């Protein structure tokens, strides 16, 4: 640990190139852009006195929320398995981010660290004959309510708490040799797509969402190979499945939203949660979308003591043709929430999501934070104005960054301010 501590000091020193170039924010601990084998920021999170559950034996019993996890390292050879606590009861809240509004960052982290991960190695693309554990993991992901599990590990689960900017954190893990599960009732919409082996996975995702299944539930089912056509089904790493589901649903909503009549006023929604400050601007124009993030110093992915990092991704009417490399999964989570709102009011708009991440947000919690906070913001009553200029006083009073910084870093605002529109000729 001493060497890792020095590595962190070296990486975050005042003259360090990695911090100055914003590579930590771009990498978020997953791409090894600094060339290190271990991410020094992750080392800091792990050493932050975060308490893991006490595991007394290699035989663990508990009620899974239900929750599963599919790893990505070594893909397609990956570890799959359940997430479960060491106690029985109603544990739904442990894996349902739609229920976490109003909870503090450390409440959420402490709650999630109670979950122990079982690991069982499979071939994600060829799992049909992998045995009973695979079947049980799939059944668990489809189950509607908490289900009692007993898992036998090769040795007591241990290791670091897992934290990542895309996935929700969880506690220690271990290789699993057995998994016994009580029977549970499948969620109705997910059960239908499981047995329909002629339905494309994208259609299954949209069908379940349209019929009221929670996004977090769809993500689990998508990740464990229960959707898709016949033998083309495969396990999908949890990180990838989260972004895939957000992308699929938002694209489907956008098919309609793009061609709706636009809103007839400028709208501004504002919200604060988990020391994230949000201003969401809607402009009465056809569909465009952009997200800008301002990472303050000493936040989870900006270790610099004094330098702010801004990043953004955007799309115009036709949509994106490449992955949102700067904001990554959070972009699709925010776009889903924005498209949901517009679909619900039957209008289209140009949407700009401005997010300030302040120093209180120092543990990565996953992209659910973005989706649920944008949803929360869009449930509030908006400020309205007849022009974009009419919104800036409220934005400037609510956010730390002022107008000039947002405009400078926004492709959508530059387009709006420089392109001639038909009403300009009236």
C-alpha 37/C-alpha 39 separation (Å) is: 7
Q: How far is CA 303 from CA 24, 29, 167, in A?
A: 8, 12, 20
- Indicate whether 49 pLDDT > 60: no
- For the chain, percent of residues with pLDDT exceeding 70: 83
Higher-pLDDT residue of 16, 74: 74
Higher-pLDDT residue of 111, 214: 214
End-to-end CA distance of the chain: 68
| pLDDT given at position 165 | 61
Domain ranges of the chain: 2-46, 51-246, 266-425
Rg (CA), the chain: 22
pTM of the model: 0.88
Nearest to 140 by CA among 245, 75, 70: 70
- Indicate whether 38 pLDDT > 70: no
By mean pLDDT, which of 72-76, 144-148, 362-366, 407-411 is the weakest?
362-366
Rounded to an integer, the average pLDDT of 356-370 is 88
Spatial contact of 190 and 224, defined as CB atoms under 8 Å apart:
no
- Indicate whether 4 pLDDT > 90: no
Higher-pLDDT residue of 350, 46: 350
By mean pLDDT, which of 74-88, 146-160, 401-415 is the weakest?
146-160
Looking only at Cα atoms, what is the longest distance across the chain?
77
| pLDDT given at position 187 | 98
């Amino acid at each position: 640990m001493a060497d890792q501590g020095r590595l962190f000091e070296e990486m975050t020193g005042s003259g360090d190139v990695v911090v100055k170039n914003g590579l930590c924010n771009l990498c978020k601990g997953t791409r090894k852009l600094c060339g290190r084998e271990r991410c020094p920021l992750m080392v800091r999170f792990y050493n932050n006195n975060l308490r893991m559950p006490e595991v007394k034996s290699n035989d663990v019993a508990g009620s899974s929320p239900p929750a599963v996890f599919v790893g990505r390292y070594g893909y397609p050879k990956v570890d799959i398995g359940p997430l479960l606590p060491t106690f029985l009861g109603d544990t739904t809240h442990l894996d349902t981010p739609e229920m976490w509004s109003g909870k503090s960052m450390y409440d959420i982290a402490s709650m999630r660290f109670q979950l122990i991960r079982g690991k069982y190695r499979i071939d994600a693309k060829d799992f049909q004959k992998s045995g009973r554990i695979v079947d049980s993991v799939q059944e668990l992901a489809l189950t509607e309510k908490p289900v009692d599990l007993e898992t036998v590990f090769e040795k007591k689960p241990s290791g670091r708490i897992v934290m990542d900017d895309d996935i929700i954190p969880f506690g220690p893990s271990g290789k699993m040799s057995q998994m016994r599960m009580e029977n549970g009732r499948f969620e109705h919409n997910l059960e239908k797509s499981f047995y329909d082996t002629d339905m494309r996975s994208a259609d299954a995702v949209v069908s379940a969402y349209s019929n009221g299944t929670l996004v977090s539930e769809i993500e689990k089912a998508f990740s464990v190979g229960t959707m898709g056509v016949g033998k083309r089904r495969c396990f999908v790493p949890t990180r990838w499945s989260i972004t895939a589901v957000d992308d699929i649903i938002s694209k489907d909503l956008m098919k309609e939203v793009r061609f709706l009549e636009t809103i007839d006023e400028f709208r501004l929604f504002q919200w604060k949660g988990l020391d994230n400050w949000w201003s969401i601007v809607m402009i009465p124009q056809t569909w465009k979308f952009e997200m800008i993030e301002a990472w303050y110093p000493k936040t989870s992915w900006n270790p610099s003591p004094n330098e702010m990092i801004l990043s953004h991704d955007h799309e115009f009417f036709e949509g994106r043709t490449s992955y949102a490399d700067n904001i990554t999964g959070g972009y699709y989570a925010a776009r889903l929430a924005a498209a949901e709102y517009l679909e619900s009011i039957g209008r289209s708009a140009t949407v700009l999501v401005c997010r300030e991440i302040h120093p209180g947000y120092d543990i990565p919690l996953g992209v659910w934070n973005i989706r649920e906070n944008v949803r929360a913001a869009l449930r509030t009553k908006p400020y309205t104005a007849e022009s974009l200029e009419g919104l800036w006083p409220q934005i400037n009073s609510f956010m730390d960054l002022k107008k000039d910084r947002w405009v400078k870093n926004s492709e959508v605002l530059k387009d709006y301010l420089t392109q001639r529109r038909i009403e300009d000729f009236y």
